[in-house]
Amino acid sequence: MPDKRILLVEDEPEISQLLGHTVRAAGYVVDVAATAGEAWTLLNAHAYSLVVADWRLPDGDGTLILDWAADQGTATLLMSGYLFRMPGGRAERHQTLMKPLRPSEIVAAVEHSIGKPDVDCPTDN
């Protein structure tokens, strides 16, 4: 397993494609899930250095995915356009980013969370 594998959980295809491409171009290995169900399947199949999840997913709550990942010792990043509407305490365990965000913001947040990518880490799955 590459040292810097990331799970990106985002249900909006345009945002998912942009963020996935941006983080891959920075040198990380990225798996993408559009739903909480897909995220759980990937989490059961792979170990991740970082899990990045949107709060509102069509079939669940991204903070539950992040809480589980954090309990496993994985770095977490919560992104949402609705952070100010979140019930109190839901985001406390996680680094947060307000959407919309620039590609440079996600790369900076990833680097802050898990460091720069490994030089020999492949950029495709």
Query: Which pLDDT value is given to residue 1?
Result: 39
CA trace torsion 89, 94, 95, 96 (10° rounding): -50
Average pLDDT over residues 80-93: 64
Query: Which pLDDT value is given to residue 24?
Result: 96
Give the DSSP letter of residue 74: -
Average pLDDT over residues 110-125: 75
pLDDT band (50, 70, 90) for residue 46: very high
pLDDT of 62 strictly over 70: yes
Residues in contact with 77: Cβ distance below 8 Å, sequence separation at least 6, in sequence order: 50, 51, 52, 53, 66, 94, 95, 96, 97, 109, 110, 113
**Domain covering 5-114, topology:** Rossmann fold (3.40.50)
* Residue 27, Ramachandran bin (φ over 0: left; ψ between -120 and 50: alpha; else beta): left
The three-class DSSP label of residue 46 is: coil
pLDDT of 124 strictly over 60: no
